[in-house]
């Protein structure tokens, strides 16, 4: 570990300190000399934001940051699981990994003891379905019979698409599923007219590349209507309706869409508390610079921290949130419940694999039942019964 102290304050930083952040600048930040963070593909908003954060940590604190691009959920979380990366800047796959579902319900994975550090919620930004600027796809219902992207090994992206389809009263059986090996290849496939729709963030830097292509792009609205959201949240419970105004391909004046924290910074539970505390503090105290480093980076603002109810936070991060007075009332109880849920899942997995069937399909089906039975017995929401 190395100690880094910010020794100078510009006039602007002093003004910020006067607004209540002087204590955050005054204390030391302890981080390793090198941090490794996995993220989505090169060009994605998550990757760009981690590169921007790396530049700030290098310039201000002497910390080198390696950003590993990952085509799918496994390639992003794999380095963290193996101890080759401290963090991953990811999305809903953090929930799937904790829950041990989809790809993470296989013999090589199982429920992961993840800890959350900080998250980004872009104001005015959203996630949704990208479709060609022209053509006959004007609303989610119009995706029936169209070619829709499905990314191998990426349940987070695929469940996002499934939730949008559900809002439109559709499912995967109602569209033509087109498989891709990663998010980047999906974008290229859309530009090359190999697919008609895929999921993306409105603030993704890749949208400019798509806009410059022959098909252009537009995002489909997600109506702020109870029937739509009942179906959508049955697939992805943590999505929220938002009026989106930021991004390429949006309706003039904005449109209703879905929002979710992305990216979120996650690690394993055994990360050193000083590193957790240090990374959250570094993002917070350098935010005035960080927010302009990449598209969507402003979403990391402390005021945007809508604290997660399902994935527990790292104790180092909690220490900093309490220090600056933003840890919400009642969040300790939610934290305890999230830790308890991980304990139930861990015990269920260990009991199941001790005598689990060898073939993959039987293993998966058996785990679905064992997982659901354990959660129900503990009085907890199962959320994912089958996959």
Residue 255 is assigned to a structural domain of this protein:
yes
Range 146-173 burial, b when 16+ CB lie within 10 A, else e: bbbbbbebbbbbbbbbbbbbbbbebeee
Question: Final residue of a domain: which of 259, 289, 321?
Answer: 259
Residue 346 is assigned to a structural domain of this protein:
no
Domain shared by 46 and 145, yes or no: no
Q: How far apart are CA 4 and CA 7, in angstroms?
A: 9
Domain shared by 227 and 298, yes or no: no
Average pLDDT, rounded, for the chain: 91
Domain shared by 40 and 138, yes or no: no
Contacts of 233 by beta carbon, 8 Å cutoff, 6+ apart: 163, 239
Q: How far apart are CA 276 and CA 265, in angstroms?
A: 10
Q: Could you identify the residue written with the tokens 């080198």?
A: 64
237 has a pLDDT exceeding 90: no
pLDDT in tens, 176-203: 999 999 999 999 999 999 999 999 999 8
Domain shared by 103 and 139, yes or no: no
Contacts of 168-172 spanning 24+ positions with Cβ under 8 A:
168/139, 168/140, 168/141, 168/142, 168/143, 168/144, 168/228, 169/141, 169/231, 170/140, 170/141, 170/143, 170/144, 172/148
Contacts of 262 by beta carbon, 8 Å cutoff, 6+ apart: 45, 46, 91, 120, 127, 201
Domain shared by 45 and 164, yes or no: no
For residue 258, give the nearest of 306, 217, 223, 231 by alpha carbon: 223
Tally of domains in the chain:
2
Residues spanned by the domain of 294: 2-120+263-334
Residue 78 is assigned to a structural domain of this protein:
yes
Q: Which of 8-22, 91-105, 157-171, 341-355 has the lowest mean pLDDT?
A: 8-22
pLDDT in tens, 82-113: 999 999 999 889 999 999 999 999 999 999 99
Q: How far apart are CA 65 and CA 23, in angstroms?
A: 25
Residue 115 is assigned to a structural domain of this protein:
yes
Peptide bond into 263 cis (omega under 30): yes
- What DSSP letter does each residue of 15-49 carry, written as one string? HHIIIIIHHHHHS-EEE-SEEEEEESSTTSHHHHH
- CA dihedral sign, ordered 166, 229, 258, 54: negative
Range 20-47 burial, b when 16+ CB lie within 10 A, else e: ebeebbeeebbbeeebbbbbbbebbbbb
Q: Which residue has the higher pLDDT, 125 or 209?
A: 209
- 266 forms beta bridges with 88, 116
Residue 386 is assigned to a structural domain of this protein:
no
Q: Could you identify the residue written with the tokens 């199962």?
A: 382
Rounded mean pLDDT, 65-69: 97
Residue 356 is assigned to a structural domain of this protein:
no
Question: Final residue of a domain: which of 259, 290, 308?
Answer: 259
pLDDT in tens, 210-219: 999 999 999 9
- What DSSP letter does each residue of 87-146 carry, written as one string? EEEE-THHHHHHHT-GGGGSTT-----EEEEEE---TT--EEEEE-SSSS--SGGGGTTS
Question: Final residue of a domain: which of 259, 289, 309?
Answer: 259
- What DSSP letter does each residue of 280-333 carry, written as one string? HHHHHHTHHHHTTSSTTGGGG-GGG----SSSPBPHHHHHHHHHTT-SPTTHHH
pLDDT in tens, 295-309: 889 999 999 998 888
Q: Are 37 and 68 in contact (CB under 8 A)?
A: yes
Residue 360 is assigned to a structural domain of this protein:
no
Q: What is the CATH number of the domain that holds 25?
A: 3.40.190.10
**CA end-to-end span of the chain, whole Å?**
42
Domain shared by 41 and 86, yes or no: yes
Domain shared by 135 and 238, yes or no: yes
Domain shared by 99 and 53, yes or no: yes
303 Cα distance to chain centroid: 18
Domain shared by 238 and 223, yes or no: yes
Domain shared by 144 and 100, yes or no: no
- 36 forms beta bridges with 66
Domain shared by 51 and 101, yes or no: yes
Domain shared by 162 and 94, yes or no: no
Residue 358 is assigned to a structural domain of this protein:
no
Quick one: pLDDT band at residue 155, thresholds 50, 70, 90? confident
């Amino acid at each position: 570990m190395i100690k880094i102290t910010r020794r100078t304050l510009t006039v602007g930083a002093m003004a910020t300190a006067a607004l209540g952040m002087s204590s955050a600048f005054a204390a030391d930040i302890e981080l390793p000399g090198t941090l490794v963070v996995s993220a989505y593909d090169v060009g994605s908003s998550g990757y760009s934001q981690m590169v921007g954060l790396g530049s700030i940590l290098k310039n201000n604190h002497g910390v080198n940051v390696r950003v590993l691009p990952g085509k799918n959920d496994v390639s992003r979380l794999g380095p963290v699981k193996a101890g080759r990366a401290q963090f991953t800047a990811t999305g809903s796959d953090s929930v799937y990994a904790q829950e041990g579902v989809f790809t993470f319900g296989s013999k090589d994975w199982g429920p992961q003891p993840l800890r959350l550090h900080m998250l980004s919620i872009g104001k005015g930004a959203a996630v949704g379905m990208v479709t060609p600027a022209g053509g006959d796809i004007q609303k989610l219902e119009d995706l029936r019979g169209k070619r829709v992207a499905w990314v191998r090994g990426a349940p987070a992206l695929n469940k996002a698409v499934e939730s949008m389809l559900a809002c439109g009263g559709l499912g995967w059986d109602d569209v033509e599923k087109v498989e891709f090996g990663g998010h980047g290849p999906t974008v290229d496939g859309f530009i090359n007219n190999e697919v008609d729709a895929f999921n993306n963030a409105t603030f993704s830097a890749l949208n400019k590349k798509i806009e410059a292509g022959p098909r252009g792009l537009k995002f489909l609205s997600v109506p702020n209507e109870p029937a739509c959201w009942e179906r959508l949240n049955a697939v992805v419970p943590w999505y929220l309706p938002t009026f989106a105004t930021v991004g390429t391909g949006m309706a003039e004046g904005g449109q209703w869409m879905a929002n979710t924290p992305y990216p979120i910074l996650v690690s394993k539970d055994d990360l050193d508390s000083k590193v957790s505390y240090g990374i959250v503090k570094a993002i917070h105290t350098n935010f005035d610079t960080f927010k302009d480093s990449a598209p969507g980076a402003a979403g990391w603002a402390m005021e945007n921290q809508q604290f997660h109810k399902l994935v527990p936070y790292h104790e180092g991060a909690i220490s900093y949130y309490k220090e600056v007075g933003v840890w919400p009332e009642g969040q300790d109880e939610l934290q305890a419940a999230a830790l308890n849920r991980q304990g139930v899942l861990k015990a269920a997995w260990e009991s199941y694999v001790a005598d689990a069937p060898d073939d993959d399909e039987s293993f998966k089906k058996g785990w679905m039942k064992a997982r659901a039975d354990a959660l129900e017995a503990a009085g907890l929401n199962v959320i994912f019964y089958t996959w």
